[in-house]
Amino acid sequence: MCRFGKTGTTSDRPRSGRPATATTSTNMRRIRDKIHYDPKRSLRKVDKELHISATSVRNIVKHHMGLRPNKLKKTNALMDQMKATRLQRWREPLKRFKPVDTLDILFTDENFFTIEQSFNRQNNSIWSPSVKEANNSGRYVSRKDHLASVMFWAGVTSTGKTPLVFVNQGVKQDYVPAHKAKVVQDWCKINLPFMITSTEWSPYSPDLNPLDFSVWLVFERKACATPHNDLDNLKRATRVHHGVQLPQETQRLRQGEGRKVQFCCNFGEHLV
């Protein structure tokens, strides 16, 4: 009431303080020009070139320019012909399956695991007061050549999973002529009447198989969180996490596998 009586409003009075010296229209324009010229430019280089604090540069970029960082991702190269093939291949299955029907599709794949430790450079870290203590706590993860490995086969749907199958050594992975052999395809057509054949499945499409783009990564990170002494220990760990972790990942298929397929059919691009 006192403020309203003196000023005629309830708004805060103008406050004193140091005026902004870095967040100016000139600096915003200079930063915008540099990022427009090279969107991959490091903000550390920008603040050094313009002699502005790193905090001010991040504030301008995020809050005033509305930009956010997007990390680079590895993906298969898609030429125009490949995109056209993806579009053509997936239009036929969409005639048979509604988007909701993709929740019932059984996706299968095989993958190799080794006995070495799996880790993510971006997310896995060790909190310690010094580098020396971090090194003593296992900061270095050793890598060796010709490690013992085992191939797994599995299948997932939005509601469940197949048993985990250990594949014998000597069996090739992907692009095997036996996968496309007429006798194999004929058996699948008889016993799996709704099977998507090798001529219908979209090529160059690991982004459409949840095992490729999600489940295997999570599964390996859990089962190989620590290095294994031999293949028996590796198999034992995979059996344990197959029963615990895989169902959690399959539930994510309910969140839009049909939309992913539709996106591929509309644009032919990789999913991001």
Q: Report the Cα 97 to chain-centroid distance in Å.
A: 26
Sheet strands (E) in the chain: 107-114, 149-156, 165-167
Please state, for a pLDDT cut of 90, what percent of the chain lies above it.
4
Sketch the domain layout of the chain as residue ranges. Answer: 22-70, 80-267
How far CA 134 is from CA of 139, 143, 222, 226, 266, in Å, comes to 6, 18, 22, 17, 49
The pLDDT of 134-160, averaged and rounded, is: 82
* Superfamily holding 80-267: Ribonuclease H-like superfamily/Ribonuclease H (3.30.420.10)
pLDDT at 181 over 80: no
Contact (CB, 8 A) for 183 and 148: no
Q: Which residue has the higher pLDDT, 197 or 147?
A: 147
pLDDT value at position 137?
A: 82
Kindly indicate the confidence band of residue 177, based on its pLDDT and cuts at 50, 70 and 90. low
Residue 174 confidence (pLDDT): 56
Judged by DSSP in three states, 167 sits in strand
pLDDT band at 30 (very low <50, low <70, confident <90, very high): very high
> Does residue 13 have a pLDDT over 60?
yes
Average pLDDT over every residue of 27-33: 91
> Tokens 């005639």 correspond to what residue?
95
* Sign of the CA dihedral with 230 first, then 174, 206, and 78 last: positive
What is 114-161 written as a DSSP string? ESSPP--TTT-----SSHHHHHHTT------SS--EEEEEEEE-SS-B
Beta strands per DSSP E along 145-240: 149-156, 165-167
Residue whose structure tokens are 């903000």: 43
pLDDT in tens, 31-48: 999 998 988 888 888 888
Over residues 88-105, the mean pLDDT reads: 69
Structure confidence at residue 272 (pLDDT): 38
pLDDT in tens, 133-144: 888 888 888 788
pLDDT-derived band at 266 (thresholds 50, 70, 90) equals low
